[in-house]
Amino acid sequence: MEKMLDIKKVITPIDFSDNSKLIAESAAYLAGKFGASLHLIFIVQNFEDYSGFFVPQMSMPHLEQDLVAGAEEKMSSFCAELEEDFRKAGITEVTHHVSMGDVAEQIVDFAAENKGDMIVMGTHGYKGLEKIMFGSVADKVVRSAPCPVLTINPYTCCKR
């Protein structure tokens, strides 16, 4: 008999869109069922992707540091808000991480570097111009992830 996938580390990208809480709760439920740790990540979009669209008037390194610091604060409060849900799911270890770069590449790199066993992510986050310019992050992650990827369409599942 073939060995079943041993899931001990679930990685979940969060983008702070309206669907983020639903995705995090779903990932927590799954991680709890497997007895896995949950690792929430947020990637600050690299400004190099916007080059040619505008020229900012402020110092980029300072702005990027401020964005990462703001994202870290938001991630901490996001996790605190969901702490009870994580506990109810039976998760004993929840970590969060913020970095900067190409979103899909950073998710894949984080999963590889941290030996993630599964990525759980939403199929929909930001919409409109950003999606047209950058394509689907979920699609890019599915095509290059070092582990299985479970995608959740927040508009068709798990609605309360």
Q: What is the DSSP letter of 147?
A: S
The CATH code that applies to domain 9-152 is: 3.40.50.620
Q: pLDDT of the chain along its 160 residues, tens only? A: 555 678 999 999 999 888 899 999 999 999 999 999 999 999 998 766 555 555 555 556 678 788 889 999 999 999 999 999 999 999 989 999 999 999 999 999 999 999 999 999 998 655 554 554 445 888 899 999 999 999 988 777 655 4
For residues 135 and 4, the answer to whether their CB atoms sit within 8 Å is: no
Phi, psi values for residue 26, rounded to 5°: -65, -45
pLDDT tens column, 46-86? 766 555 555 555 556 678 788 889 999 999 999 999 999 99
Integer Cα distance of 112 and 138 in angstroms: 16
Where do the domains of the chain lie?
Answer: 9-152
Q: Name the token pair of 117.
A: 């066993």
Contact 158, 22 (CB under 8 A): yes
Average model confidence (pLDDT) across the chain = 84
Residue 23: burial class (beta carbons within 10 Å; 0-12, 13-18, 19+): buried
